[in-house]
Amino acid sequence: MKKFIFSIIVLTLSVSYAICQEYDIKSLEYGLDSLSGNSKIESLLKISEHYQKNQDTAKLNIYLQQLVKEFKKQYNVDFSQKNLSKVTANNSNSILIIIPTVLLIVVLIWLFVLFKKIKKQNITVFEQNLQIEFQSNEILRIKSQISDSISYARKIQDSILVPEEEIKRYLPEMFIYYQPREIVSGDFYWFSKVEFKYVIAAIDCTGHGVPGAFLSMIGNTLLNEIVNDRGITKPDEILTLLHIGVLKALKQNREDAINEDGMDLSLCTIDVRQKRFQFAGAKNHLYVIQGDQLKVLKANFLSIGGRPLRPEVDENVKFTAYDFMYDDKTSIYMLSDGYLDQFGGLEDTKFNANRFKQMLLENRNLPMNEQKVILQNALEEWKGDKKQVDDILVLGVKLSEKL
């Protein structure tokens, strides 16, 4: 009978080993004397399981004896041969009661240990999930604050742009295709009327998003000062003064300057009294259609501000000025590089200037608002599911002797 009970305990220990992890047996052995009750039974089970696995019969017997003793103490179960014989003599059916009882006790202890582990794991997982949820909510909160701030910055940036409807009071046949890559833009357009002259520009600041938007505010302020306050309308002079202003604003006129930011632009002054327009550009060209001919007026290969020009010669830089008469068949187009540099098509290449010029020629006789739609649709079709690579700005103006 005693051997049979021993076999049941060993079998139960073997099953529990498949689920429980390895334990520090030596630590458990040293700590047995300080334990009692279920904790001591749990430790004895773990130690016995270890020696049963390693087939150390001597130590297994020692700890099984302690386990039986502890069972007897904890649950008032007597495993002695004398007691078992007495039970057998009195009632042969008692064996059927003792065996399930011992097995039930061992299984209950094993389930108790397993329950504690699962409960501890669940608490850990719950705490981790709470931490993840907290971090996720914090990220969403910060993201919302940033998005709100940038969205408000967009309102401020939009406020510096002259509404298209106001420009059309003076230049009725014109369009503005303006599509920032992000909420705020490094591209912006500028317009002003000074007596009988209209000054219009398409400006592309370094970068896009928030950094570009900061530069756009500087550029807008400087243009207002140069044209509106000082009354300067010659494009080449405006660009030179704008360049000097950016150098000073960004401290780029110092020998230890490391800031390389600046802007590229094309700028036209339309003199409606003399029916002529003047142009100067910093890296960005002007596309002119007169009749059936398309001309590209080349800009200087110099940025406004930035590192390429150094303090000792910067303030003496000169920009090339173009001067043309216009008639009713003259249209001008200025743009940032975002349109031409957009990747797409079957071979994932840039849209490029040749494709742009061909499109202008093919649609030169259409009203400006229709030309804008064609430009938008062409780029969207070209881009497909590709990401927009940069801010996009295209200005088109049809000049007329009636202006």
What gap in Å lies between CA 238 and CA 222, rounded to an integer?
Answer: 10
Beta-bridged to residue 294, according to DSSP, are 289
Q: What is the pLDDT of residue 277?
A: 96
Write 366-373 long-range contacts (CB < 8 A, 24+): 367/173, 368/173, 368/174, 368/175, 368/331, 368/396, 368/397, 368/398, 369/175, 371/175, 371/396, 372/175, 372/176, 372/177, 372/396
pLDDT of residue 357: 97
Cβ distance 259 to 302 under 8 Å? no
Instruction: Enter the DSSP assignment of 283.
Output: B
Contact 77, 51 (CB under 8 A): no
- The CB density around residue 370, as the number of other CB atoms within 10 Å, is 12
Mean pLDDT in order along the chain per 10 residues (403 residues): 49 44 64 74 74 71 72 58 47 50 62 64 75 84 85 88 96 97 93 97 88 91 97 97 92 79 96 96 97 96 75 70 95 97 95 97 97 97 95 97 86
Rounded CA-CA distance 99/63 in Å is: 20
Tokens of residue 54, six digits: 């390693």
Closest of 152, 209, 143 to residue 181, by C-alpha: 209
Residue 225 corresponds to which tokens in the numbers above?
A: 């000062």
The three-class DSSP label of residue 280 is strand
Round to whole Å and give the CA distance between 183 and 388: 13
Are 262 and 304 in contact by the 8 Å Cβ rule? The answer is: yes
Q: What domains appear along the chain, each with residue ranges and CATH number?
A: 2-124 (no CATH), 161-399 (3.60.40.10)
Distance CA 181, CA 387 (A): 9
* Tokens found for residue 211: 């950094």
The closest alpha carbon to 180, from 217, 206, 154, belongs to 154
In this structure, what token pair is assigned to residue 66? 């302690």
Distant-in-sequence, close-in-space partners of 49: CB < 8 Å, separation ≥ 6: 13, 14, 16, 17, 20
Shortest CA distance to 66 belongs to which of 104, 28, 101?
28
